[in-house]
């Protein structure tokens, strides 16, 4: 159970608490201002990623102090958690509406649209969060092929997310000033800032999933399809026994490997049931 479950979930899984999606939270002016600034490109530091990369060059003691400060700030403002597709399904069971928007990270890193982000709300048509976005500079929402904020039926959104998973994208749930949850993204390490920060630059801005992957050695054929899609470098291959193996210290529990395994050899189990991974967030 991560910090947020203790702080914002009253001991239960924090992103399964309906109150954390509440429309009331959007009447908080600080939160509204944060969201407005967050999604306004001129306020975003385009060089954020370079700053995170510079952290690696600092002496270890200074680096650990700066990292702790940045993580503390991110936990208050914009922090995430990896979620398996079953958890996305449970979240969809809580909320009233789902909207699809262009990905803001990819707008910043690639300069073009990619529609892989989903707003979730207890209100209709994306609720007040969508209302806030509609009031902003919407250049990132309205690219040449983008219909802007698009309300999608939950089953359609879930099918699209399963497809994202087969492409190697990992589902992540995000706060906009904790504990308010505004959306679910589908991330990869190449283009998404949160994954680059957390995995490449060692600046964690998201928790690992409540789950972790386990390979059934009897079913595994050693095809290595799973290794090609893991963004976290958590899978290795043993030439001696021709099987894939999960590095528990690296696995974020996203389930992307499971989605591509042709032998159904990968299961997700509860992180807390695996002693070596239970305390790793
Ligand atoms: S994709 Fe499945 S069968 Fe292939 S190596 Fe990975 S676990 Fe084994
Ligand atoms: S090994 Fe872990 S981190 Fe890698 S794809 Fe599988 S579940 Fe995700």
Burial 215-254, CB ≥16 within 10 A → b, else e: beeeebeebeebbebbbbebbebeeeeebbebebebbbbb
Indicate if the pLDDT at residue 237 is higher than 80.
yes
Closest CA relative to residue 260, chosen from 199, 193, 215, 196: 215
Q: Which range, of 108-112, 115-119, 136-140, 238-242, averages the lowest pLDDT? A: 136-140
Whether 82 and 254 have beta carbons less than 8 Å apart is answered as yes
Task: Give, in order, the Cα–Cα distances in Å from 269 to each of 111, 180, 212, 276.
Answer: 37, 27, 5, 13
Q: Report which ligand 1 atom has the smallest distance to the Cα of 221.
A: 3
Q: Which range, of 12-21, 26-35, 40-49, 210-219, averages the lowest pLDDT? A: 40-49
Predicted local distance difference test score (pLDDT) of residue 139:
67
- CB of 254 sitting under 6 A from ligand 2: yes
- CB of 261 sitting under 6 A from ligand 2: no
Mean pLDDT over all residues of the chain?
90
Q: Tell me, in angstroms, the distance from the centre of ligand 2 to residue 23's CA.
A: 33
- CB of 149 sitting under 6 A from ligand 2: no
* Average confidence (pLDDT) over 1-10: 82
Other C-beta atoms lying within 10 Å of the C-beta of residue 25:
20
Closest CA relative to residue 4, chosen from 253, 176, 179: 179
CATH 3.30.70.20 domain span(s) along the chain: 212-273
| Predicted confidence (pLDDT) per residue in 148-177, tens digit | 888 999 999 999 999 999 999 999 999 999
Closest CA relative to residue 195, chosen from 242, 246, 256: 256
Predicted local distance difference test score (pLDDT) of residue 112:
78
Predicted local distance difference test score (pLDDT) of residue 104:
84
| Predicted confidence (pLDDT) per residue in 59-115, tens digit | 888 888 988 998 999 999 999 999 999 999 999 999 999 999 888 888 888 877 888
Predicted local distance difference test score (pLDDT) of residue 54:
80
Comparing 142 with 182, the larger pLDDT belongs to 182
Whether 240 and 260 have beta carbons less than 8 Å apart is answered as no
Whether 168 and 188 have beta carbons less than 8 Å apart is answered as yes
Assigned architecture for domain 212-273 = 2-Layer Sandwich (3.30)
């Amino acid at each position: 159970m991560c910090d947020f479950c203790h702080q914002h979930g009253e001991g239960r899984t924090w992103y399964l608490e309906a109150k954390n999606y509440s429309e009331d939270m959007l009447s908080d002016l600080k939160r509204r201002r944060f969201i407005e600034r967050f999604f306004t490109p001129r306020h975003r530091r385009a060089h954020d990623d370079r700053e995170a990369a510079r952290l690696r060059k600092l002496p270890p003691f200074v680096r650990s102090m700066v990292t702790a400060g940045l993580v503390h700030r991110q936990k208050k403002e914009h922090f995430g958690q990896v979620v398996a597709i079953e958890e996305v399904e449970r979240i969809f069971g809580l909320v009233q509406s789902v909207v699809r928007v262009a990905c803001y990270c990819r707008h910043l890193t690639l300069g073009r649209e990619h529609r892989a982000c989903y707003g979730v709300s207890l209100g209709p048509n994306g609720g007040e969060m969508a209302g806030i976005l509609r009031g902003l500079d919407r250049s990132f929402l309205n690219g040449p092929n983008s219909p802007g904020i698009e309300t999608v039926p939950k089953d359609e959104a879930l099918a699209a997310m399963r497809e994202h998973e087969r492409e190697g994208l990992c589902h992540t749930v995000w706060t906009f000033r904790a504990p308010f949850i505004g959306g679910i993204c589908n991330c990869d390490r190449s283009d998404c800032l949160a994954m680059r920060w957390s995995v490449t630059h060692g600046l964690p801005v998201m928790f690992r999933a409540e789950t972790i992957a386990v390979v059934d050695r009897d079913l595994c054929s050693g095809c290595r399809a799973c290794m090609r899609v893991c963004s976290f470098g958590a899978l290795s291959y043993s030439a001696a026994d021709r099987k894939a193996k999960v590095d528990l210290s690296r696995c974020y529990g996203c389930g992307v490997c499971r989605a591509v395994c042709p032998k159904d050899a990968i299961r997700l189990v509860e992180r807390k049931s695996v002693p070596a991974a239970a305390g790793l967030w």
